[in-house]
Amino acid sequence: MSITEEISEKLQKGRAKEVAALVEQAMQEGTAASVILNEGLIAGMNAVGEKFKKNEVFVPEVLVAARAMNAGLKILKPAMQNEGIKPLGKAVICTVKGDMHDIGKNLVKMMIEGQGIECVDLGVDVDPQRIVEAVKESGAKVVCLSALLTTTMMEQKNVIEALKAAGIRDQVKVMVGGAPVTQQFADEIGADCYTLDAASAAEAAKAYFTE
Amino acid sequence: MTNRERAMNILHFRQADRLPAVHFGYWKELLFEWAQQGKIPAEIAEKQGDGNEYDRKLDGILGFDFNWCRTYGADMGLRPPFETKVLEELPDGSRRVRNSFGIVEKIHPGVVSIPAEDDYLLKDRKAFEQLYREKMQYTEERINKAFFEKFNESVYEKTDIPIGINLGSLMGDIRNMVSVVGMSYLIYDEDEELFADIVNTYAEMQYRCVDRILSMGVKFDFGHYWEDICFNNGPLLSPELFRELCFRHYERRNGLCHKHGIDIISLDCDGVTDKLLPTWVESGVNVMFPIEIGTWGDQFEPARKKFGQKVLGVGGMDKTALRKDKKAVDAEIERIRRLVSLGGFIPCPDHRLMPGTKFELVQYYAEQIKNIRI
């Protein structure tokens, strides 16, 4: 088994300390940061995402895998900068105004970061205007909006309206998700994308940066 | 026929004169909305709680027969609970508050939602031993003996609605103590034995509480758990691990109920529950509740197909229809008729009625349900 395969495997098991140690070892052995990133860390998160979609693993496994990925990234970051590795792009992510739930939002964020996309996380209970400002400041190409409640899902529409009013709707792809959200609802409010789970959201986000 | 007889007959596949109109309470904001519209007195909006006298008054106004969640039991949480304490006032007006479970929550002013979990106390063995273990022990003070000694005459015999004993919670309460993130870390890489120890300690205390009350000869129609351990894509932890940690505790507690003649055992779990159902059903839980079809897509029919008459249901009515119009309510009632015809199923809005729910549509729904003959 190669060291990148080992990194991927340990990441899938959520072994943060071992992932960090293996990344360190791989760097010392002269493995390129891009190889460690793509064949080790991102490959591991992709595998977790696939298993999550198929109900082979559950929320805890995703959370510990993401933590292991972050532990590896922390070690790898200086080498990534030296090699000039840049994220695929930026995505603004948040839970909409009036809604404090963050588990779904955090899962999507972890999966998206696992695809090499930088996330500007605005947190929970976020006002549409703040999202507009964050898009302008960061130049993000994707906006991910989470809502858990039937009472707050309409806020996703308000964000889309705010992006239109600010004249930047065409610059971003708006992805919506959350328990009460459906494809029909996403179509009704004019969102660009709805996915059923976090792993599918990450795949869809990646597609926007690579299309 | 009384409501108790109706409900119990249906859940035992016996004849009943009609369906009872059952509900699962309301979001407080809806009651204030209705009070503001002049539909209900402000006092009811302020004081309504599951099964209390104001809930019963509201039943009368809306035409409901009863709230399924009228349960009684011991103090089965952390005792004493942590003192709720404001830890920090933040510049944006929000506050960091430590709650009674030891979770630090960020509360935003004016936001009606579950608060965001920010931190938690129960991170390791030391915190468990020093802060939590003692709070999870059984003591006689957990039981209101004076109340339960007179319960049969003063509560059970005085009402015609089904009364449940609160059987507690194995995983939901613990998730509330450590948060979903903390639960994941405890299970998977910090201390697996610790997590099992927490579950076992908590379960033992709750078992003794239930045992104590039932041993007093207190009458109940059903037992009732609360878990809320699933979301829109299934359980918050692996079904195998859930079974490993919880099955024997459910089985033991359900056995206790059976010994005391209680054979209807419901379990409140939001979200899509199908992956955990085998553990519950095999252990003796037999009523799915509230079967969130509208928000999460949880379903009763596949469970009935899989487990036959071992699975009963209370819930499964898409409450979002009550925000729309009569046509939507009629369509929902037609869909429900099919489930009712399977037997062992009592329709009930699939969670608390939310803001924007139309008062007149609720009255209409309750009336239509009561017209359905079994």
Task: Verify whether the Cβ–Cβ distance A99 to B354 is below 8 Å.
Answer: no
Chain A segment 9-48 residues within 8 A of B by beta carbon are: 14-16
Q: What does the pLDDT read at residue A150?
A: 79
Which ipTM score applies to this complex?
0.81
Judge contact between A150 and B270, C-beta under 8 A.
no
Q: What does the pLDDT look like over A83-106, one tens digit per residue? A: 998 899 999 999 999 888 888 898
Round the average pLDDT of chain B to a whole number and report it. Answer: 94
Q: What does the pLDDT look like over B197-234, one tens digit per residue? A: 999 999 999 999 999 999 999 999 999 999 999 988 88
Q: Which two tokens stand for residue B306?
A: 């899989």
> Cis omega before residue B290 (within 30°)?
yes
Q: What does the pLDDT look like over A124-166, one tens digit per residue? A: 899 999 999 999 999 999 999 999 887 789 999 999 999 999 9
Q: Which two tokens stand for residue B249?
A: 């505790």
Domain ranges of chain B: 3-79+122-370, 83-120
| pLDDT above 70 as % of chain B | 98
Task: Verify whether the Cβ–Cβ distance A55 to B275 is below 8 Å.
Answer: yes
**Is A102 at the interface with chain B, CB within 8 A?**
yes
CATH of domain B3-79+122-370: 3.20.20.210
Q: What does the pLDDT look like over A11-57, one tens digit per residue? A: 999 999 999 999 999 999 999 999 999 999 999 999 999 999 898 99
Q: Alpha-carbon distance B244 to B236, whole Å?
A: 15
Per-residue pLDDT band for B189 (boundaries 50, 70, 90) equals low
DSSP string, B245-312: HHHHHHHHHHHHHHHTT---EEEE--S--TTTHHHHHHHT--EEES--TTTT---SHHHHHHHGGG-E
Across the range B315-324, mean pLDDT stands at: 96
What domains does chain A contain, in order, with CATH numbers?
Answer: 3-82 (1.10.1240.10), 90-210 (3.40.50.280)
Interface probe for A, chosen from B26, B179, B184, B350 (most Cβ of A below 10 Å), is B184
Among A99, A103, A178, the residue with its CB nearest the CB of B180 is A103
Chain A segment 58-97 residues within 8 A of B by beta carbon are: 58-61, 63-64, 67
